[in-house]
Amino acid sequence: MQFHVKALRDSESIVSLAVEAADEADAARQARASGLHVLSLRRAAFWNFALAPGRSRFPVAVFAQELLALLAAGLTLVEAIEGLAEKEEHRPTLAVFEHLKTQLQQGRTLSQAMQDLPEAFPTLFVASVRATERTGDVPEALRRYVSYQAQVNAVRGKLISASLYPVLLMGVGVLVLLFLLGYVVPRFSHVYEEIEGELPLMSRLLLEAGKFLDENGVIAGGVFLVAVAVLVRLALLPQSRNWLAAQLQKIPAIGSRMHLYQLGRFYRTLGMLLRGGTPVVAALDMCSGLLATGLRENLGRAAQMVREGRTLSDAMAANGLTTPLALRMLRVGEKSGRMVEMMEHIAAFCDEEISRWVDWFSRLFEPLLMALIGVVIGVIVVLMYLPVFELAGRIQ
């Protein structure tokens, strides 16, 4: 669920941000992990008449790519930000650049300037930049974040592309069904009214439904549009997505893959933060928002075990945050001092496993979905023509 947090930043400025968290305690913990002192915290309203959030997202990945290119060309950080501001026409994005430029000219670091805008810059990005500012290698932080974002987007893109065709297929199937029920079936019902004799029960029910839609088409259309708007709004709510994710995780075959997907994203992000010099416990707190509610609680217990002196591999294994292969790789990383590299290997392994499963599931699910839609449409057509077949039999 989503919480609105008002907090104090560096004892100087008050900021407001939205946080995805399991409860108020989790939201407060995430805010403190970002260096904020929480002043007030409230749960976001479940319903909002707007279908989508009003604020536009700041393009962090594009910003990092462009800033990296300008720094590589020899511009100073202030000159690079000024150049980005000069070409920007979108007012909210321009306001972000102007803020960064002003803060840099006043002597603050880039991470400190970005901290004032938590709604624009995610905690992971700020932490990565802050870690490299100590060595003066900000381009390395930008390069690392761009690579990280590209890998995350690649996995997300595979999932989206795999679900696009089934969604389109279901949409076409619904439209065909609406056409049959709203236009074709009512025409048949008028014809059958003149035919003497008792119609089969299922045919009679179908024709009555068609007649009702024909007589109340405007009302039915309005109800359908309202239902679509409500479903779209519910789909955009974090509460609905969390509920759906919880239901899907109860299905063994799907739940295990969702768990694997979260672990891959978690280890990739954790590896990026550790490579940048972020302490382990702080990095674990920053990564909690990438996990589902139940796994966030497990991660909190794992972080506490690390604080108490347990190894990271033992803490992860004790709280269900590894796979057998991932546990072996973590232990090898602890012995060899290559923990970050092992985390990247774990993430790559999880991504490959997810990609193979998505390909297999798509090849299986799409024909089944087409068959199901064909059966439904076929049943409607048969029920429409069944009285005709019976009439032909009587004539013979």
Domain ranges of the chain: 2-43, 60-151, 164-396
Give per-residue pLDDT as tens, 273-321.
Answer: 888 778 888 888 888 877 877 788 888 899 999 999 999 999 999 998 8
CATH number of 164-396: 1.20.81.30
CA distance 310 to 313: 8
- The pLDDT of residue 48 is 46
- Give residue 62's identity as a one-letter amino acid code: V
Asked if the domains 60-151 and 164-396 are classified in one and the same CATH topology, the answer is: yes
* Inter-helix orientation angle 201-215/339-395, to 10°: 100
Per-residue pLDDT at 32 exceeds 80? no
Of 34 and 341, which is predicted with more confidence? 341
3-class secondary structure, 116: coil
Lowest mean pLDDT among 172-176, 182-186, 190-194, 255-259: 190-194
Give per-residue pLDDT as tens, 104-154.
Answer: 888 888 888 888 887 788 877 887 788 777 767 788 888 888 888 887 888
pLDDT band at 390 (very low <50, low <70, confident <90, very high): low
Per-residue pLDDT at 29 exceeds 50? yes
CA distance 38 to 362: 45
Give per-residue pLDDT as tens, 87-108.
Answer: 888 888 888 888 898 888 888 8
Q: Are 362 and 164 in contact (CB under 8 A)?
A: no
> Of the ranges 28-32, 36-40, 330-334, which is most confident?
330-334
Give per-residue pLDDT as tens, 45-87.
Answer: 544 444 344 344 788 888 888 888 888 888 888 888 888 888 8
What percent of the chain is helix, strand and coil (3-state, nearest 5)? Answer: 75, 5, 20
Q: Are 148 and 268 in contact (CB under 8 A)?
A: yes
Q: 105: how many CB neighbours lie within 10 A of its CB?
A: 12
CATH number of 60-151: 1.20.81.30
